[in-house]
Amino acid sequence: MKSIFLDYNATTPIAPSVQEAMLPFMAEYFACPDGMYAQSRAIEEALEDARGQVAHLLGSTSDEVIFCASGTESCNLAIKGVVLPYLAQRQPCHIIVSAIEHAAVSQTASHCRYMGCEVSVLPVDRHGLVSAEELANTIRSDTKLVSVMLANDETGVIQPLDKLAKVCQEHAVLLHSDACQAAGKIHVSPKQLGVDLLSISAHKFYGPKGAAALYVKEGTSLHPLIHGAGAEHSMRAGAENVMAWVGMGKAANLVGRSIDDAAEKLTQLTRRFGHRLMESILEPIVIHGSQVERVPNTLCVNFPNISGQELLRRVPEICASTSCSDTVGGGNSSPVLAAMGVAEDEKRGTIRLSLGWYTSEEEVDRAADLLIHAWESMRH
């Protein structure tokens, strides 16, 4: 039986036109872009075209885009790139991250703490939102950076970054946002949001793995993590991953032209999915974050009185995930749900369903039927 892929927040398939754009750089155009010959110049031009496409998606200039190998690297460069000079000079350094960050940010912040930086963790309310007032109360005289994601990978909840940015600007503090789950799903403009640094990852929007970018606002001082030859505006040494970065550029162009149409389709599908589950399951279902703005493709659903892990085991046709890695015994250890104050039994029964371009109405209906049947069999 054909599987139903509902884990688009984990990764997306490479779009056919993106794959086609990448193919010449797997074979014919294999040279390094810094050579003096014609093939190198052609490759350099392709890379700059890709940079321009990513910049266009973000509404930035090409000079503000640094290519990276992953969203995790992008977040590391943003955070450590700000923190390292202060630590090297033994100056006071304090950073703030939210309680719902991806490990790419939370673990990086933990490492900065290990290196001597002080770290504060911003709480969220029951909807998963950070408060601008709470942020203002947490900022100190030695605060150098705030990092708050744009859209959460588990709940899809979108943060009020524009309000948080105003607080940071009032205190002359840099603001970074992990936008890996937002780029390609909603319009993402660092300038409109008011952020100084912003991370995106190509494999979240129908591009290849191994390609990501960091937006660095013009005039923002950043220390490189990888040293060597002066690639990527001297911010990231190493041979360029031409094939992947060209693919990211093509994917950025592709999603940039279709965001509104795709968002409308996905909004309808997720609404259909949620309604079908709630109408058929007699016990109360909770969709986490449903009372606030979310990206259009994500349903973080609690199935009452069962284990989400066991539920997914019973429907092998569905490719989905629990909201976080399950603990021994079928529990859910999600720090995001914990930060939102979700009760243990609700965490235990929560799964994440994330839809994408290739999700059909028929797949949504079939997946809903399979989940409903599995839940009923577990309850009775």
With H, G, I as helix, E, B as strand and everything else as coil, classify residue 147. strand
**Other beta carbons within 10 Å of 76:** 21
Q: Is 75 a catalytic residue?
A: no
Q: How far apart are CA 250 and CA 287, in angstroms?
A: 34
**DSSP β-bridge partners for residue 301:** 287, 351
What residue type is 13 in one-letter code?
P
Instruction: Check residue 320 and report its DSSP letter.
Output: -
Rg of the chain on CA atoms, in Å:
21
The catalytically annotated residue of 68, 168, 300, 324 is 324
Residue 352: closest CA among 293, 283, 284, 303: 303
Q: How far apart are CA 163 and CA 341, in angstroms?
A: 23
Report CA-CA distances (Å) from 126 to 123, 129, 132, 179, 350.
10, 7, 15, 21, 15
Enclosing H/E stretch for 7: none
Q: Name 249's Cβ contacts closer than 8 Å, sequence gap at least 6.
A: 21, 49, 50, 51, 52, 53, 54
Q: How far apart are CA 71 and CA 77, in angstroms?
A: 10
Distance from first CA to last CA of the chain, Å, rounded? 26
Active site residues: 324
